[in-house]
Structure 1
Amino acid sequence: MFERFTKEARSVVIGAQKEAHALHHPRIGTEHLLAAAADRPESPGGATLARLGITAETCREAIRSAARLDEDDAQALRSLGIDLSAVRTRAERAFGPGALDRAPDETDGAGGADRMGGPGGAASRWWPFRAAKTSRPRHLPFTKEAKRALEGSLREALAREERWIGVQHIVLGVLAVGQPSTVKVLRALGTDPEALRAGLLADLRPAA
């Protein structure tokens, strides 16, 4: 699949990792793909985001704000005697790091490898976004939603009868997933998945 990605689309995938690192997040989510796409305003998809006033920086700030709201929710639960950190610690002690971040079907039955990219995973033969062994900052894993968005970018391209995957297809893939954290970011930026998708498709429509 990766060979279908344009240079700009590949830069979005790489940029999403940088966005997650810069925000000190442990995994790459659809919101990081969105921020990386917004950092390509000259590309289809990125241009639609720019037209709506969504830049990489405003996207980052919305992601930070959403994270602060999540922390406020956690504090509210602590006031009720529910400590999410303690719950996470117990879950990870019992089931391994990131246990609360994994869906039940994210591991296979032969040793818990990530189906989408880890050693022995069902799709490890084609999943292209694995870490290279370099001295760069450690590789961050993609969330299952981010993986679905990248897979969805291929479906979006095929639906448009296009043989390559561009930034616009990644954005459409992100919108199709509808990850709640990314929806929250979009609403903070003054739009929502439906409106952004409609605007993007309108921008991609050939001029009469």
Structure 2
Amino acid sequence: MFERFTKEARTVVVLAQEEARMLHHSWIGSEHLLLGIASRTGAPGAATLERLGVTPSACRAALTPAGAGELDEEDAAALGAIGIDLSAVRDRVEEVFGPGALDRTKSVPKGHIPFTPRAKKVLERSLREAKARKDNVIGTQHVLLGILDPEDKQTSALLVRLGTDMESVRAGLLAELEQAA
């Protein structure tokens, strides 16, 4: 199927893998494909996403759980107040599991990152979207249409966190494609 992808659509898939790595995820999901499209200024669908507030930085922020960063001195003090010595916890974890056991990058594979079933479904849907539009190739617009699966609760929730929804993205994309034709 990838032989039918345009160079731009292939780039989106590569960017999705890079974004998953940067976010310390060990999978490529539909949310990473969305982020890949949002990162490609000028690609079909990217302008619609930007107009709706789905920018690369907004996506990354929405995909990073609150409090996912390192604990600071204030956190250590708060834990200390209830009898938890954060330094001792870190030392013990490294003693048991090895140096760097708490490093987030440790859990991310260095090579190929697998697609989730949701992401695989997006790629299959992109082929169906291209066929439905009577297009001979699969472009970023088809991948974006493939992402807009109402059954994909995670991507739907991500879009809501970003202030939009699947229907608005679909309508905006279809209008963008109509205008370009």
Deviations 1:149-206 (A, max 9, x none): 0011010011001101111110110112642221111001111111111111111114
Deviations 1:108-139 (A, max 9, x none): xxxxxxxxxxxxxxxxxxxxxxxxxxxx9321
Misfit runs of 4+, over 2 Å: 65-68
Query: Which runs of 5 or more structure 1 residues have no equivalent in the other structure?
Result: 69-135
Q: 2:139 aligns with which of 141, 166, 169?
A: 166
Q: Confirm whether residue 51 of structure 1 aligns to residue 51 of structure 2.
A: yes
Q: 1:4 — aligned with what?
A: 4
CA distance in 2, matches of 1:41, 1:47: 7
Query: Which runs of 5 or more structure 2 residues have no equivalent in the other structure?
Result: 69-108
CA distance in 1, matches of 2:115, 2:66: 19
The TM-score with structure 1 as length reference comes to: 0.63
Q: Which residues in structure 2 correspond to 1:157-196 (within 5 Å)?
A: 157-176=130-149, 178-196=151-169
Q: Measure how far apart 1:66 and its partner are.
A: 7.8
Task: Give the number of the structure whose alpha-carbon radius of gyration is greater.
Answer: 2
CA distance in 1, matches of 2:40, 2:56: 8
Distance 1:43 1:159, change over 3 A: same
CA distance in 2, matches of 1:66, 1:148: 28
The answer (yes or no) to whether the contact 1:178–1:193 under 8 Å persists in 2 is no
Q: 2:33 — aligned with what?
A: 33
Q: Confirm whether residue 139 of structure 1 aligns to residue 112 of structure 2.
A: yes
Q: Measure how far apart 1:60 and its partner are.
A: 0.9
CA distance in 1, matches of 2:158, 2:13: 19
Residue type at the aligned position of 1:58? A
Q: What is the aligned-residue identity percentage?
A: 55
Distance 1:191 1:152, change over 3 A: same
Paired residues in the alignment total 141
Residue type at the aligned position of 1:15? L
The answer (yes or no) to whether the contact 1:41–1:49 under 8 Å persists in 2 is no
Q: Secondary structure at the match of 2:115?
A: coil
The answer (yes or no) to whether the contact 1:145–1:177 under 8 Å persists in 2 is no
The answer (yes or no) to whether the contact 1:149–1:177 under 8 Å persists in 2 is no
CA distance in 1, matches of 2:146, 2:66: 21
Q: 2:178 — aligned with what?
A: 205
